[in-house]
């Protein structure tokens, strides 16, 4: 279906405005050593109902709500950014970020710092009436899981970019934080898919395996199937072994790869997304697993993956985050008092549990405090959680707004805290037994990750 001249004009105008706002505010935030994603979302927020629609409602409707074609075009870009390129590029970073040699502190902090906030989130939902935030799907179990995950999640992309900008990406502090975040996020993605599967399965077509088998999502069999399918799918990189994507690329009969390594990787990503969807796993996690499997590409295949990342970072991902901001409504779909309470609760539970986990594995008070603040950043994964939960009908719009704001505020807090500590000339980790510095400014700079 081709677009008419006016429809194409509106779509181009909307895309240009979103990209300019995203890059403009993203660069502004980066200059002040704050997460770029916060600026990108702010740019979209200013173009949405929180400002642009208030100041110039006619212009806002003309640009962003002019017709089905414009909304469909932006929706495709939104889904492409979320379901494919954002998760694919993030998955490619996971294998590089998980570092060996720090198993004791990593496992201790990951277990305590993830389990305690998750359980606290479940308890909060059980003790306090938050039913007004329940989405149209009406699944209270999925809603409770999403709420608990919002309390427990940690951002890999945001915190890795913050530490790269501060020049500490090669330090022991960074290794511990990123390794903990990798383990936490993998667990969170598994649980999130279970919540999504329960909702999606109710509307699933016969083309999916669970629907073809007649598995009821809310039944004991359904819960068991989705847990098993999700765990099996996330174990695919372990079962397939390292270098699966490279082995497929190097096959002699791979005509697609010989023609275009970029096309091969995009098809590889789409195939795994489709396989995930068939099995009852959310397609975004198919793209994530594809990225993990592509994390060890080399030669021109690595260059192709980097080209995909570059285009994603320049166009698709900023556009996605700007549209996240565009959906925020701080005027009519926001409860500031409850948000402040949620912010305080989430920060307290996450920080205290990470601090306790760090102290339990022998980290000093100074290091444990800095680890707790860094791991409190929710960033991109927190925003993805909010977006997919809203799209699936698990939560409603006002809670979506609060979850996105929670991810932004905690990310800004983490960046500001770490920069302030380093500006005072202090180390981020100190062995309190002898006072020797373990990590600090100039501890080494590793490979800069994608700016997701």
pLDDT tens per residue, range 63-74: 887 666 666 777
CA atoms within 13 A on the CB side of 143: 21
Question: Domain for residue 20, yes or no?
Answer: yes
Q: Which residue has the higher pLDDT, 144 or 180?
A: 144
Question: Domain for residue 293, yes or no?
Answer: yes
Question: Domain for residue 165, yes or no?
Answer: yes
Question: What is the H or E stretch that residue 152 is in?
Answer: helix 140-152
Indicate whether 59 pLDDT > 70. yes
Question: Domain for residue 451, yes or no?
Answer: no
Indicate whether 218 pLDDT > 80. no
Give the total number of structural domains in the chain: 1
For 88-139, the pLDDT digits (tens) are 877 777 666 555 556 778 888 999 999 999 999 999 999 999 999 999 999 9
Q: Which two tokens stand for residue 51?
A: 């400002």
Q: What average pLDDT does the segment 390-413 reach?
A: 93
| Spatial CB neighbours of 305, under 8 Å, sequence gap ≥ 6 | 92, 265, 294, 297
**How far is CA 337 from its chain centroid?**
26
Residue 284 maps to which CATH number?
A: 1.20.1530.20
Question: Domain for residue 452, yes or no?
Answer: no
Output DSSP code: residue 172. Answer: H
Cα–Cα distance between 145 and 119 in angstroms, integer?
Answer: 10
Q: Which two tokens stand for residue 301?
A: 């295949």
Question: Domain for residue 448, yes or no?
Answer: no
| Spatial CB neighbours of 146, under 8 Å, sequence gap ≥ 6 | 192, 195, 385, 389, 394, 395
Range(s) of the domain holding residue 135: 5-439
Q: What average pLDDT does the segment 421-425 reach?
A: 85
CA atoms within 13 A on the CB side of 353: 25
Among 349, 363, 190, smallest CA distance to 281 is for: 190
Indicate whether 178 pLDDT > 90. no
Range name among 49-58, 82-91, 133-142, 440-449 with the lowest pLDDT average: 440-449
Question: Domain for residue 177, yes or no?
Answer: yes
Q: Which two tokens stand for residue 216?
A: 């009821």
Tokens 């409602």 identify what position?
57
Question: Domain for residue 192, yes or no?
Answer: yes
Tokens 């993956």 identify what position?
305
Range name among 123-132, 282-291, 354-363 with the lowest pLDDT average: 282-291
């Amino acid at each position: 279906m081709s677009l008419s001249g006016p429809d194409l004009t509106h779509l181009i105008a909307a895309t240009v405005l979103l990209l300019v706002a995203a890059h403009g505010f993203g660069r502004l935030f980066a200059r002040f050593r704050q997460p770029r994603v916060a600026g990108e979302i702010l740019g979209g927020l200013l173009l949405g109902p929180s400002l642009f629609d208030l100041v110039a409602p006619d212009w806002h409707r003309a640009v962003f709500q002019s017709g089905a074609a414009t909304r469909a075009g932006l929706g495709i870009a939104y889904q492409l950014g979320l379901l494919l390129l954002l998760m694919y590029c993030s998955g490619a970073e996971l294998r590089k970020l998980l570092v060996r040699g720090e198993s004791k502190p990593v496992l201790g902090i990951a277990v305590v710092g993830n389990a305690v906030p998750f359980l606290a989130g479940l308890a909060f939902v059980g003790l306090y009436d938050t039913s007004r935030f329940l989405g149209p799907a009406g699944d209270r179990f999925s809603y409770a899981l999403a709420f608990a995950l919002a309390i427990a999640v940690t951002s890999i992309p945001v915190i890795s970019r913050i530490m790269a900008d501060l020049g500490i990406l090669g330090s022991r502090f960074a290794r511990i934080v990123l390794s903990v975040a990798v383990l936490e996020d993998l667990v969170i993605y598994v649980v999130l898919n279970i919540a999504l599967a329960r909702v999606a399965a109710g509307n699933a077509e016969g083309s999916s395996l669970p629907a073809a088998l007649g598995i009821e999502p809310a039944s004991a069999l359904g819960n068991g199937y989705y847990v098993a399918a999700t765990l099996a799918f996330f174990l695919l990189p372990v079962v397939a072994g390292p270098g699966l994507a490279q082995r497929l690329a190097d096959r002699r009969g791979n005509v697609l790869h010989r023609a275009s390594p970029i096309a091969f990787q995009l098809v590889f990503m789409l195939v795994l997304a489709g396989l995930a969807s068939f099995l009852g796993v959310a397609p975004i996690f198919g793209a994530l697993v594809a990225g993990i499997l592509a994390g060890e590409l080399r030669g021109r295949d690595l260059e192709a993956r980097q080209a995909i990342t570059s285009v994603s970072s320049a166009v698709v991902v900023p556009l996605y985050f700007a549209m996240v901001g565009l959906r925020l409504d701080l005027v009519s779909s926001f409860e500031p008092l409850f948000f402040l309470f949620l912010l305080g609760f989430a920060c307290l539970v996450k920080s205290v549990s990470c601090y306790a986990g760090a102290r339990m594995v022998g980290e000093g008070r100074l290091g444990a405090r800095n680890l707790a603040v860094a791991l409190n950043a929710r960033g991109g994964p927190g925003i993805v959680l909010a977006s997919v939960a809203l799209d699936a009908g698990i939560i409603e719009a006002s809670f979506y707004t609060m979850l996105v704001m929670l991810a932004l505020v905690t990310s800004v807090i983490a960046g500001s805290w770490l920069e302030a500590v380093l500006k005072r000339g202090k180390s981020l980790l100190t062995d309190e037994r002898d006072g020797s510095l373990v990590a600090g400014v100039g501890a080494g700079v590793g490979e800069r990750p994608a700016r997701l």
